[in-house]
Amino acid sequence: MIRAFFVCAYLLLAAASAVAQIPAEPEPGASPPAAAPAPAPATPRAWSSMSPQQQQLLQGYKDNWNSLPPERQQALARGSQRWLSMSPEQRSNAQQRFAQWRALSPEQRQQLRQRWQQFKSMPPEQQQRVRESFNRFRQMPPERRMELRKQWRQMSPEQRRRVMQRPAPARRNPR
């Protein structure tokens, strides 16, 4: 149970660092996406090439747009397009996550970035197990989650390491 908590917390922290930029899962039966080609060097993005809605979202950058590195311009343009494609509920959730991110210390942010990289380096099957564990953790009663967090915090780093190295317990059939 403690292992499941750690895996869940790991995924939660990783997701927070990515600010919900996890790509959507492919539909069942869909063929896997082709390998992405090596990225070409970013070219400057003209302000006028963006939609009026994107320009409105990014109006704070208008005066210094041409002095931004091309990579930053491209990232801002992609982000504004992604924002415009979100539902109001998705936008609200994204704003909440961003506020949580801004409230973190630089050290916490760096730790989350590292955890996200660790998560992304896992094999897809292991990533899926982490997601499933996280979902099980979220479905637990708040009291149980608090109890598991407390147990985890009281463990030494060595005890945590041992818990993480154990195989996941077999699932109980709720029937």
Residue 96 to residue 75: CA distance in whole angstroms: 21
- What's the pLDDT tens digit per position in 3-14? 444 444 444 444
Q: Specify whether the CB–CB gap between 94 and 86 falls below 8 A.
A: yes
* pLDDT of the residue at 33: 47
> Which residues of the chain register pLDDT less than 50?
1-28, 30-33, 174-175
pTM of the model: 0.52
Name the burial class of residue 134, with classes exposed (0-12), middle (13-18) and buried (19+) by CB atoms within 10 angstroms of its CB. buried
Q: Phi/psi of residue 86, each to 5°?
A: -80, 150
Buried b (16+ CB within 10 A) or exposed e, 90-119: eeeebeeeeeeeeeeeeeeeeebeebbeeb
Residue 171's pLDDT is: 55
pLDDT of residue 42: 74
